[in-house]
Structure 1
Amino acid sequence: MRRIFSHINVSLDGYIDDAEGNIDWHFADEAFQRYLDELLQSIDGMVFGRAAYEQLAAYWPTAGDEVTAVQRSAMRELPKYILSRTLETTGWHNSHLLGDDPVAALGQLKQQQGRDIAVFAGGSAASQLLRSGVLDEIRLVLNPVLLGEGTPLFQTPYPKSTWRLAGRREFASGAVVLSYERGE
């Protein structure tokens, strides 16, 4: 059975974007780019919220040498599943709307054979999946920056739950990936 994990950048003070909605404060070095390549090669699909989908769909089809060949290929070819109540169609190659019951649709994807599915969504979408119990793992890319304000990592309410540290990976940039699996 596949697992679904959330992968999201967060500041030390718990924000996923700054007060203007920017994410240009994310730390990325060569080792982190290799990590992203490995991550993209280890999954069979990606989940986006509507806002993240629209931003990424505007960028990735024309991405050039500023990204790796692995990233360019994966972002084009991997299936992309979109959580949206407002989108009616998708234009990005291999994109699919999850429909009116995205939790059930993701549950069906989990039952299929294949590799894990990564959720690269904003706070609203990640919070929805956290509330639904569909997430098996949360991977936080903790960036060494304080933003002071912005969009919080999770939007309340969500049920109290315990998670256990399953892994950690440090980068010279100061960023740390912390992986947490659902506790018992």
Structure 2
Amino acid sequence: MRNLVYYIASTIDGFIAGPDGADPTGPDGFWPIPEDYIQHLVAEYPETLPGQARAALSVTAEGTHFDTVLEGRRTYEIGLHAGTTNAYPHLRHLVFSRTLTESPDPAVELIAEDPVATVRELKKEEGKDIWLIGGGELAGALYSEIDTLIVKLSPMTIGTGVPLFSDKAGFDPRTWDLTDHTVLNSGALFLTYSRRTA
């Protein structure tokens, strides 16, 4: 059975974007991306690089973690505003939205149904794990279905912004086991947690 993996960059104070929800790593972003961070992504998570970044870095590796990416409408629209209709053409790409009625890209699947039911069906399919890219609203809605957290922890704080999980998660304390970690010289941490089931 496939796992749902919330693979996401976060600040130390638990935010994945600024208050406006814009791409924090974009041209006007505040999030630094050191060279060793990019090298680690290329080596360990090449499928999580957007298509344009893969082309610029000459990355052709298929990757071993994910073959499907899920995102909410707001996260997807960040790419749309930058002129990209499918940031991940190398993955099966699902966007959850009740307001978008027609996909801007033939390879991007729009899902208006309940994300929990959709993810439960996806988990039954053959393949690699499912990458939940965000944002916080969708992560909150899928809180109960997340099997693994991979937090790319940036050595910064921003005070306020879009939290790791929206309040759609509700109050539901869960315990996670740290199963892997990588510390980069730039100060970024890659922390992998598996949900404790017992």
Normalised by the size of structure 2, how large is the TM-score? 0.78
84 and 139 in structure 1: CA distance in 2 versus 1, 3 angstrom threshold: same
Gaps in structure 1 of 5+ consecutive residues = 64-71
- Quote how far apart the aligned CAs of 1:57 are: 3.8
Q: For residue 34 of structure 2, what is the aligned residue in structure 1?
A: 29
Q: 2:186 aligns with which of 157, 160, 173?
A: 173
Please tell me the residue identity of whatever aligns with 1:8. Answer: I
* Aligned counterparts of 2:172 and 2:12: Cα–Cα separation in 1: 23
57 and 100 in structure 1: CA distance in 2 versus 1, 3 angstrom threshold: same
Between the two proteins, the alignment pairs up a number of residues equal to 172
Where 1:109 maps in the other structure, the secondary structure is: helix
* Aligned counterparts of 2:81 and 2:89: Cα–Cα separation in 1: 12
Please tell me the residue identity of whatever aligns with 2:75. Answer: A
Q: For residue 68 of structure 2, what is the aligned residue in structure 1?
A: 45
Superposition map of 1:1-184 within 5 A: 1-22=1-22, 23=24, 24-37=29-42, 38-39=44-45, 40=47, 41-42=63-64, 43-59=66-82, 61=84, 75-130=88-143, 133-156=144-167, 157-184=170-197
Contact 1:7 1:139 in 2 (8 A): yes
Contact 1:27 1:173 in 2 (8 A): no
Highest RCO, 1 vs 2 (Cα 8 Å, sep ≥ 6): 1
Please tell me the residue identity of whatever aligns with 1:97. Answer: L
Contact 2:67 2:91 in 1 (8 A): yes
Moved more, 45-54 or 99-108: 99-108
* Aligned counterparts of 1:60 and 1:16: Cα–Cα separation in 2: 22
Normalised by the size of structure 1, how large is the TM-score? 0.83
Q: For residue 66 of structure 1, what is the aligned residue in structure 2?
A: none
173 and 10 in structure 1: CA distance in 2 versus 1, 3 angstrom threshold: same
| Stretches of 4+ aligned residues off by more than 6 angstroms | none
Percent identity between the aligned chains? Answer: 30
Contact 2:71 2:134 in 1 (8 A): yes
Contact 1:27 1:174 in 2 (8 A): no
- Quote how far apart the aligned CAs of 1:33 are: 2.1
Gaps in structure 2 of 5+ consecutive residues = 48-62
Contact 1:19 1:149 in 2 (8 A): yes
The alignment's C-alpha RMSD in Å is: 2.2
Moved more, 83-92 or 1-10: 83-92
- Quote how far apart the aligned CAs of 1:116 are: 0.7
Contact 2:73 2:96 in 1 (8 A): yes
Q: Which has the higher helix share?
A: 1
